[in-house]
Amino acid sequence: MRETYAEVAIYVDKAGTTYAIPCGWNRITLATVIITDIDLLFILKPPYSDDDIDAFLFNALENCYKKEGEPGPGPLEKHFGTKTWVGAVKGLRYVSFSWIQNEGYYFAQSIKTSRKVYNLPQKEHWIHVENDPEKGELARAFHKALSESKC
Protein backbone atom coordinates (compact mmCIF):
# COMPACT_ATOMS: atom_id res chain seq x y z
CA MET A 1 0.00 0.00 0.00
CA ARG A 2 1.36 3.42 -0.95
CA GLU A 3 0.98 5.99 1.78
CA THR A 4 -0.65 9.30 0.96
CA TYR A 5 0.16 11.01 4.25
CA ALA A 6 3.05 11.03 6.70
CA GLU A 7 3.73 13.08 9.82
CA VAL A 8 6.78 13.64 12.00
CA ALA A 9 6.84 15.28 15.43
CA ILE A 10 9.89 17.50 15.77
CA TYR A 11 11.11 18.82 19.11
CA VAL A 12 14.06 21.17 19.56
CA ASP A 13 15.86 21.96 22.81
CA LYS A 14 17.55 25.23 23.77
CA ALA A 15 20.94 23.98 22.53
CA GLY A 16 19.47 23.32 19.06
CA THR A 17 19.46 19.52 19.30
CA THR A 18 16.58 18.31 17.16
CA TYR A 19 14.51 15.20 17.88
CA ALA A 20 12.18 13.62 15.30
CA ILE A 21 9.55 10.93 15.87
CA PRO A 22 7.86 9.48 12.75
CA CYS A 23 4.25 8.31 12.76
CA GLY A 24 3.33 4.63 12.63
CA TRP A 25 0.48 2.13 12.47
CA ASN A 26 -1.78 0.39 14.91
CA ARG A 27 -1.91 -3.17 13.53
CA ILE A 28 -5.29 -3.86 15.17
CA THR A 29 -7.23 -0.82 13.90
CA LEU A 30 -5.00 -0.22 10.83
CA ALA A 31 -5.07 3.47 11.71
CA THR A 32 -2.24 5.96 11.98
CA VAL A 33 -0.86 5.93 15.50
CA ILE A 34 -0.25 9.03 17.58
CA ILE A 35 3.35 9.81 16.80
CA THR A 36 4.53 9.93 20.40
CA ASP A 37 3.60 6.25 20.74
CA ILE A 38 6.17 5.06 18.20
CA ASP A 39 9.44 3.83 19.66
CA LEU A 40 11.64 5.44 17.03
CA LEU A 41 13.67 8.58 17.64
CA PHE A 42 16.08 10.43 15.34
CA ILE A 43 18.47 13.00 16.79
CA LEU A 44 20.38 15.78 15.01
CA LYS A 45 22.95 17.64 17.10
CA PRO A 46 24.38 21.03 16.17
CA PRO A 47 26.27 22.28 14.37
CA TYR A 48 24.38 21.30 11.24
CA SER A 49 23.86 22.72 7.78
CA ASP A 50 20.69 23.15 5.75
CA ASP A 51 21.71 20.02 3.82
CA ASP A 52 21.90 18.13 7.13
CA ILE A 53 18.42 19.34 8.09
CA ASP A 54 16.97 18.40 4.70
CA ALA A 55 18.46 14.89 4.98
CA PHE A 56 17.28 14.55 8.58
CA LEU A 57 13.70 15.53 7.67
CA PHE A 58 13.56 13.22 4.64
CA ASN A 59 14.97 10.33 6.71
CA ALA A 60 12.35 10.82 9.41
CA LEU A 61 9.55 10.88 6.80
CA GLU A 62 10.91 7.75 5.12
CA ASN A 63 10.65 5.95 8.46
CA CYS A 64 6.96 6.67 8.94
CA TYR A 65 4.88 3.48 9.24
CA LYS A 66 7.98 1.32 9.83
CA LYS A 67 6.91 0.58 13.41
CA GLU A 68 3.69 -0.08 15.24
CA GLY A 69 2.45 1.84 18.23
CA GLU A 70 3.47 0.37 21.56
CA PRO A 71 2.13 0.86 25.07
CA GLY A 72 4.43 2.33 27.67
CA PRO A 73 6.94 5.16 27.65
CA GLY A 74 7.57 6.91 24.35
CA PRO A 75 10.96 7.58 22.81
CA LEU A 76 11.40 11.01 24.40
CA GLU A 77 10.60 9.67 27.85
CA LYS A 78 13.14 6.88 27.35
CA HIS A 79 15.78 9.24 25.94
CA PHE A 80 15.45 11.81 28.73
CA GLY A 81 14.79 9.26 31.48
CA THR A 82 11.47 10.81 32.49
CA LYS A 83 8.28 9.04 33.52
CA THR A 84 5.91 11.22 31.50
CA TRP A 85 5.68 12.93 28.13
CA VAL A 86 5.07 16.23 29.94
CA GLY A 87 8.42 15.87 31.71
CA ALA A 88 10.19 14.89 28.49
CA VAL A 89 8.99 17.90 26.48
CA LYS A 90 9.52 20.49 29.21
CA GLY A 91 11.32 23.42 27.59
CA LEU A 92 11.21 21.94 24.07
CA ARG A 93 9.74 23.73 21.08
CA TYR A 94 7.53 21.63 18.80
CA VAL A 95 6.98 21.71 15.04
CA SER A 96 4.69 19.35 13.17
CA PHE A 97 6.17 18.25 9.82
CA SER A 98 3.91 16.47 7.37
CA TRP A 99 3.68 15.37 3.78
CA ILE A 100 0.42 15.01 1.86
CA GLN A 101 0.45 13.36 -1.53
CA ASN A 102 -0.43 15.79 -4.37
CA GLU A 103 0.02 18.76 -2.00
CA GLY A 104 3.57 18.69 -0.69
CA TYR A 105 5.15 19.34 2.68
CA TYR A 106 3.80 21.34 5.60
CA PHE A 107 5.35 22.75 8.75
CA ALA A 108 3.00 23.77 11.54
CA GLN A 109 4.47 26.02 14.18
CA SER A 110 3.15 25.53 17.71
CA ILE A 111 2.43 27.51 20.83
CA LYS A 112 2.50 25.64 24.13
CA THR A 113 -0.50 26.96 26.03
CA SER A 114 -0.19 24.73 29.07
CA ARG A 115 2.13 22.07 30.46
CA LYS A 116 0.35 19.42 28.42
CA VAL A 117 -0.77 21.08 25.19
CA TYR A 118 0.94 22.34 22.04
CA ASN A 119 -1.59 24.20 19.89
CA LEU A 120 -1.19 24.30 16.12
CA PRO A 121 -2.68 26.97 13.86
CA GLN A 122 -5.29 26.18 11.22
CA LYS A 123 -3.88 24.57 8.05
CA GLU A 124 -4.13 27.82 6.07
CA HIS A 125 -1.42 29.24 8.39
CA TRP A 126 0.99 26.32 8.00
CA ILE A 127 4.18 26.83 6.01
CA HIS A 128 3.85 25.00 2.69
CA VAL A 129 6.60 23.60 0.46
CA GLU A 130 5.69 22.01 -2.87
CA ASN A 131 6.63 18.43 -3.73
CA ASP A 132 10.18 18.17 -5.16
CA PRO A 133 11.59 21.03 -3.06
CA GLU A 134 14.77 22.82 -4.04
CA LYS A 135 17.91 22.20 -2.03
CA GLY A 136 17.60 23.89 1.38
CA GLU A 137 13.93 24.79 0.92
CA LEU A 138 12.72 22.39 3.63
CA ALA A 139 15.42 23.62 6.01
CA ARG A 140 14.36 27.25 5.47
CA ALA A 141 10.70 26.38 6.08
CA PHE A 142 11.65 24.41 9.19
CA HIS A 143 13.67 27.33 10.58
CA LYS A 144 10.76 29.70 9.94
CA ALA A 145 8.28 27.39 11.71
CA LEU A 146 10.69 26.90 14.59
CA SER A 147 11.22 30.64 14.99
CA GLU A 148 7.44 31.10 15.24
CA SER A 149 7.02 28.26 17.79
CA LYS A 150 6.81 29.04 21.49
CA CYS A 151 7.19 26.69 24.45
CATH of the domain at 109: 3.40.1590.10
Written as one letter, the residue type at 65 is Y
Q: Is 125 exposed, middle or buried (0-12, 13-18, 19+ CB in 10 A)?
A: exposed
pTM recorded for the entire structure:
0.89
Q: Secondary structure of the chain in the HEC alphabet?
A: CCCCEEEEEEEECCCCCEEEEECEEECCCCEEECHHHECCCEEECCCCCHHHHHHHHHHHHHCCCCCEECCCCCHHHHHHCCCCHHHHHCCCEEEEEEEECCCEEEEEECEEEECCEEECCCHHHCEEECCCCCCCHHHHHHHHHHHHCEC
Instruction: Express as a percent the part of the chain with pLDDT over 90.
Output: 64
pLDDT score for 71: 78
Q: Is the pLDDT of residue 115 over 70?
A: no
Q: Are 8 and 23 in contact (CB under 8 A)?
A: yes
Cα separation of 110 and 45, whole Å? 21
Q: Say if residue 47 is preceded by a cis peptide, omega within 30 of 0.
A: yes
Number of domains in the chain: 1
pLDDT score for 1: 39
Residue 67 domain boundaries: 5-148
Model confidence pLDDT, tens digit, residues 21-39:
998 776 666 655 555 567 8
- Look over the chain and give the mean of its residue pLDDT values, rounded to a whole number: 88
Average the pLDDT over 47-70 and give the result.
Answer: 92
